[in-house]
Amino acid sequence: MQLVAVSRSVTGRPIRIAALTLCLMLVLSACAPSAPAPSQPAAATQAPAQAAPTVAAAPSPAAQGQPKRGGSMIIAYKDDLATLDPAVGYDWTNWPAEKMVFDGLLDYDDTTNIVPNLAAEMPQVNSDASQYTFKLRQGVKFQNGRELKADDVVYTLTRVIDPATKSPGAGFFMGIKGAKDLADGKTTSLEGVKALDDYTVQFTLEAPDVTFLNKMALNFAFIVPKEEVQAQGENFGHKPVGTGPFTLKEWTSGQQLVFQRNPNYFMPDLPRLDQVTIQVGVTPDVALLRLEKGDIDLMGDPIPAADFVRLSQDPAWKDRLVKQPQVSTIYIAMNTRVKPFDDPKVRQALNYAINKERIVKLLNGRGTVANQILPPLMPGYDPAYKGYEYNPDKAKALLAEAGHPDGFSTSIECIAVDPQPKLCESFQQDLAKVGVKVEIKTLAGSTVIEDGGTEGKAPMIWSGGLGWIQDYPDPDDFYAPILGCGSAVPGGWNWPWLCDKAIDAKAVAALAITDREARLKEIRAIFAALMDQAPWVPVYNGEYDMAHSTTLQGKPTDFAHPEHTIRYDRLWQNK
């Protein structure tokens, strides 16, 4: 997942630059009922190798009393939302807001276990994970009063893949049979999605894909009613209609959005709040002042760096700060198609040259040192892997072996948003110690993204403020969109422009491995091989730090869920 909202052909979730600093200061992919027993082997029903994140201790709802129904909350962001259309919206403020209005067939529990949502139960899956059959809950109503039917699921997925929609999430669903023909304009229907009856829908894939259930839990697959989309046209994102726990009451551009409880929501205990107001145009420093005065309940953007240490050390804030690990890796990309980074020894040398501990200190401890591409909460992460330690002498030796005993000159691009320029200066100092002279180019986020997607343009890019955070909790999300051959294309997010065909073939084959342990073993081997190629310097794994009012309550994963971030429907007021 990238952290900035842009459209692209290869998927990965974005975060808008201001709100994304949540990721920087840190910065994937609901506490739902337990899933019924599946009607097929568990390995085929659920995304393999799912990992429950380890979370920091925080007061439980029971410690503050049982959740209460009623009341309202106010959250403040610097930037306005772009849209609430789930097929289009793709940044860090949009995604949790979309989830107030819409639902998907599947969702996640408090961690990253998939559970049924609009689906009545987990789907039936054939033996090779190439066909999925869903039964829908009966009696679920859209906010216009019409009942949800299987045809709505067919329409939703067809719309996402239809090139006229320009959905940045279309790439997630290209494995559905007929999706490529639809995307290429050769047909107007989606062959691989069929409504078998009013409450049964069947998906047929071109090839086995054990990550398909994760993809069906993405916002892009949230179900929309055709008649409302057609009635509103391009304005559907500002006048959304779904099945979700809230309805959009008001959207005053540049000021606020107001959501009200959906009285007909199919989960009787949710939502807990009667109203949620999202204020926009509020800078983080002003938002913190309002929070301290009791005028708002939650900061959407990160706590300003100057205040973070103060609040962390203040006993009065002990129960008002939520710290959660983030499924992210922030890295330096080295362009394998730009000399001298076409030499793996040069790339390995830079891995030894970077002092990652200092970066975490510059972030006031809001993160952990990364030693591999996959973050610790991602299935496939290898706790036994040691990676490249900080060792300037080894870096110099490798540079000499590569024919650069005196180093070389190059450049690095980073976004012009604090603290990124400061972090790039730290890299510059580290690399100077091994003879590499680095020019820092501080640019707008959109320019960095464009340069990264242009072959031969940027020798090095610092991904801070741009990515990568999980779209969904499967290791393929840290390969295909950002390191696979299919993403080494103009406009893609494979900024190292790496295409190792042997690794790529193994990664594609791994999508068909339904045995969890066998697949994880193969995944670890794939990512170890990638680390030998060293297209990245993985620098740190992020965390969420959320500040809330004394009365706003919820589990830590309601404030900072690994997939949804804020789960508004679960929060409640203890007044």
Q: Domain extents for the chain?
A: 103-234, 330-541
Q: Is the pLDDT of residue 275 over 50?
A: yes
Stretch among 52-66, 183-197, 511-525 having the lowest mean pLDDT: 52-66
Q: Is the pLDDT of residue 524 over 70?
A: yes
pLDDT at 301 (0 to 100): 87
Q: Is the pLDDT of residue 46 over 70?
A: no
pLDDT band at residue 64 under the 50/70/90 scheme = low
* Per-residue b or e along 468-483, where b marks 16 or more CB atoms closer than 10 Å to that residue's CB: bbbbbbbbbbbbbbbb
pLDDT tens for 88-132 read 987 777 899 999 999 999 999 998 889 999 999 999 999 888 999
Q: Is the pLDDT of residue 335 over 90?
A: yes
Mean pLDDT in residue range 397-410? 98
Q: Which CATH architecture has domain 103-234?
A: Alpha-Beta Complex (3.90)
pLDDT at 2 (0 to 100): 53
In order of 68, 213, 420, the CA distances from 566 in angstroms are: 18, 21, 25
Higher-pLDDT residue of 27, 406: 406
pLDDT at 197 (0 to 100): 98
Q: Is the pLDDT of residue 481 over 70?
A: yes
pLDDT at 305 (0 to 100): 79
pLDDT tens for 434-453 read 999 999 999 988 899 999 99
Q: What is the bridge-based pairing of β-strands 552-553 and 330-334?
A: unpaired
Spatial CA neighbour of 168 closest among 5, 7, 3: 7
Q: Is the pLDDT of residue 32 over 50?
A: no
pLDDT at 562 (0 to 100): 85
**Environment class of residue 291 by beta-carbon count within 10 Å: exposed (0-12), middle (13-18) or buried (19+)?**
buried
pLDDT tens for 200-245 read 999 999 999 999 999 999 999 999 999 999 999 999 999 999 999 9
Domain 330-541, CATH:
3.10.105.10
What percent of the chain is predicted at pLDDT more than 90?
A: 75
Is 275 in a helix, a strand, or coil? strand
